[in-house]
Structures are given as C-alpha cells and as structure tokens.
Structure 1
Amino acid sequence: MLILIIILPFLFAGQATAATWYFLRYFAPSGASFTGLTGQMVVPTLPKAATYYLWPGLQPTDGSGVYQNVLDGRKGTWWFGSGWCCSNPNLPWGGGFNTYAGDVNSFSNSRNSDGKGWTSTTIHGSSTSSASSPVNNTFALANKSFNQAIFAIELYDVAWNFGPLTFKNVKIIAAGSTSTSWCTSSPENYNSATKYTITGAKASVSGTTVTCSIDSIVLQSPA
C-alpha cells in the first residue's frame, strides 16, 4: 500500500531511497503548530501507469511520518485519498476515489475541536459531472504537533512528464503565534529543484491564530 512507502527523505537521514523529490515547504513559526490545511488540487494528465505520488500534507515535529492527501497514478488511473504514512502510529489508509485530468478536487485536513484526532475530507470535483459526496476519514493523530506544510511531487523511476501541478484556494492555519512572515515569504524549495509560482498569499490574524490564504501554488516543472 501507498502508506508503506511515501516517506520524505529527511524523515530517515541516511536511508537509501529511489524517489525523486520536488516540493515546497512552509514552516510554522517557533511555538506554533499547524491546525488546518485546505484547498483544491487540479488533476494533471496521467501519461502511464507508474509510481507518481502528488500531494499536499503536514509533517510533525518528531519527523515520524506525513499526513497527506495523495494523487496516486500506479494503476493507470489517478486515485485520490487521504492517510498517514507510515508508522508511529500504524493507521489504516482512508477512502478515496478515481479521478481524471482536469478535475478540481477539494481537500481539507483539520484538527478536531475535541483535540482527539484529525479529520480529512476530500471531494471529487469532476469536470464531467456534479461534485461527489464528501469522503470523510478520521485519524488518531492528536499527539502530533505539525510544523511543516508541504506541496509535493514524489516519483519512483519515472520522470516529471505530466506538466504543471496546481493547487488553488489554499488555506494553512497556524495556532500559537501572531507571526505572518512564514506565509507571505517564499517557502523552502527543496534542493532548488522546482520552478514554481505562488500568487495571492496573504495572512489574517485572530488572537494567536494565523490563517494563510494563497490563491494558487503551481509547481511548474523541474528547475
């Protein structure tokens, strides 16, 4: 399953990996953590059945895994679903759906108000029919403090040959600080590997909660 192998290279320093990575990463300010990540993901063309993993996600301070919404191309048709990769804790992967080029799928990951877990909601925004019913999954991640928001392309023995990857109407929520520079400054571009554009980044503050709203994040091509 997908959850067994999607691990960012910095989670296990020194462990060999066959993945090729392109990703942008936002860091929460000191003393703060991310409590929500929402947006839309535009589905690109799938050239062939291969190990393409395209995703937004959150990584915790302990580096134990990634909480993510993954577009998976292994079966020759894109599949979009949510989950935690990979252990500590070992959780079952959530539900999802097949999706196709041009679809604009919604994702929402939020810490539950009772503090006992996180809920992911994905919606199939089909280009040929009305939106599907939401797919909801809850994950026992209450003990995780997420300080990284990541927009990633993860490839195994295949090239970036599907064109740009676009995220729209993104919101990243950070609690525990009034700092907004993490939102309006450029994110980390891992290994300077990606050509990208970001438009409409702005921050609003309520108490010690910052909501970062971004009109679009486009991973355009390898640098």
Structure 2
Amino acid sequence: MQLLSVIFLPVLLFASRATAATWYFLRYNTPSGARFTAFSGQMVIPALPKAAVYYLWPGLQPTDNSGVYQNVLDGRSGTWWFGSGWCCSNPSLPWGGGFNTYVGETNSFSNVLNSDGGGWTTITTRGTNGSPVSNTFPLAGKSFNQAIFAIELYDVPWNFGALTFKNVKIVATGSTNSAWCTGKPENYNAATRYAISGARASVSGTTVTCTIDSMVLQGPA
C-alpha cells in the first residue's frame, strides 16, 4: 500500500475531529503508463443506523497521491447525503453539489475527463427520477491510476449491511493490458468480504473499457 496516511487523510475535511479511520476498500490499479479517463456506475443506498461519520464512496486517486476525486455518501447528519468533489488540497477546491438520499434508492455517478482537456465533469442522479447534479473540477492535470471503492468509518463499526455497486464502467488509456479489470482487485489488508460478477474488458487501440455488472462489499472479513 502506498502512502495510505497521505492519500486518505484529506477526507478528514468532513470529520468534526481528527480521529483514526477504519478502512475497507477495493482498488483497481492501471498498468504503468496508463491512466483512467472515465469512471461511472450506480450505488445502492444502505440503511443508516445513526448520525455518525460514515463515508462510503467510489473515487479516483492520482499517481502523485495528492488527494482523491470521489462521490461520497455521507451519514453525519443522520440522513444520507451524496455529493462529489476533490479532497482536499493541491489544489484546494470547493465541494460540489449533492442531495439527500434514502435506504433502497439506487443513485448513479459519472466522472469523465472532458475531451477539451478543461477538467473532469461529474454527474450524479438520485434514483430514476431525480434531477442530475453536474459539477466540473479542474483536475485535468492529474493522472488517475487508481479506482477505489471505499468504506471509511470514524468511531463506528460496519453496521449498515452490504454496500452494492452496479453497472460499473471504468475506462483507461495508455495500455492494451486489461488484466487489471478481469483479475481480482486489491483488497486492503484483506479486510473486506466481497463478491464481483460480470467483470469483462474490451480493448480498442490503447483504450481499455472495464465493465462490472455487480460489486458487493459484503462485510468485514
């Protein structure tokens, strides 16, 4: 694991006090020289046991480990809130918009590097009828080589059940190697029981498109 204390400490911006986090996450790493250019999917919202510092998120991390570009399900208020942003410095950016969301809803997220090189655009949508929330972040200079599915907890256990992602698509450019998609993801500290189905890759030139039908973070190992 590289610089775990550096890459994830920025998320302390959300926390009311600097306590140690308990981490569960799966991570896909690109081959050397490749980078991610798109990351999308759906997250099924679990129950929220109480108001506490639960952060559940998919995100992208760059080669310089300077922060994380993420779509965060935040449980601090006692109602889940889903929003997007870059956390937290280098550069320092305002957090994007979001919305309240509730158990059983399936929300979508899409993070795409703009074709004009002007930055990354995020679109999140609550359920099937919600209005899309769109934000653009000036992160085109970051080379993202890590796609992460994370559970980040402060002074609370994993007591909300399984966390399910569906219809995930991750696009990487700069290599024809697709083994990162079809092999097992990195499981931090072997801490998470998980199940993945329908992982497959297509290759066009030096662009690999990884599609995952379902990824379920089932519980602590």
Q: Verify same fold: TM over 0.5.
A: yes
Please tell me whether the aligned partners of residues 9 and 17 of structure 1 are also in contact (alpha carbons under 8 angstroms): no
Output the CA distance in 1 between the equivalents of 2:165 and 2:152: 16
Aligned length: 211
2:139 to 138, 141, 153: 141
Residue 103 of structure 1 is matched in structure 2 by 105
**Aligned-residue offset at 1:12:** 7.4
2:116 equivalent to 1:114: yes
Look up the equivalent residue of 2:190 and give its one-letter code: S
Q: What is residue 13 of structure 2 aligned with on the other side? A: none
Whether contact under 8 Å (2:35, 2:143) holds in the other structure is: yes
- For 2:7 and 2:70, the matched residues in 1 are separated by 15
RMSD of aligned residue pairs (Cα, Å): 1.5
Runs (4 or more) in structure 1 with deviation over 2 Å come to 7-13
Pair 12,204 (structure 1): closer, same or farther in 2 beyond 3 Å: closer
**Residue 14 (structure 2) aligns with:** none
Unaligned runs of 5+ in 2: 10-17
SS at structure 1 position matched to 2:181:
helix
Q: 1:209 maps to which residue?
A: 207
Q: Deviations over 1:188-217 (max 9, x none)?
A: 000000000000000001111000000011
Give the corresponding residue for 1:169. 167
In the alignment, is the contact (CA less than 8 A) between 1:176 and 1:208 conserved in 2?
yes
Specify whether residues 211 and 12 from structure 1 end up closer, same or farther in structure 2 by C-alpha distance, changes over 3 A only.
closer
CA contact 2:7–2:68 (8 Å) conserved in 1: no
Quote how far apart the aligned CAs of 1:133 are: 1.2
Cα-to-partner distance string for 1:1-58 (whole Å, 9 max, x where unaligned): xxxxxx9535279xx9610000000001111000010000000000000000000000
TM-score, length-normalised on structure 1?
Answer: 0.92
Letter in 2 for 1:20: T
% identical equivalent positions: 76
Indicate yes or no: 2:89 matched with 1:87.
yes
Residue identity opposite 1:56 in structure 2: P
1:32–1:176 CA contact under 8 A, matched in 2: yes
1:11 aligned onto 2:7: yes
Residue of structure 2 equivalent to 1:218: 216
Show the counterpart of 1:26.
28
8 Å contact from structure 2 (residues 60, 145) kept in 1: yes
Between the aligned partners of 1:115 and 1:177, the Cα distance in structure 2 is 20
Separation (CA, whole Å) in 2 of partners of 1:189 and 1:17: 23
Give secondary structure in 2 for the equivalent of 1:163.
coil
Q: Matches of residues 14-93 of structure 1 in structure 2 within 5 Å?
A: 18-93=20-95
CA deviation map 1:60-82 (0-9, x unaligned): 00000000000000000000000
After superposition, the C-alpha distances for 1:101-155 in whole angstroms (9 at most, x for unaligned) are 0000000000000011000000000xxxx51111000001011000000000000
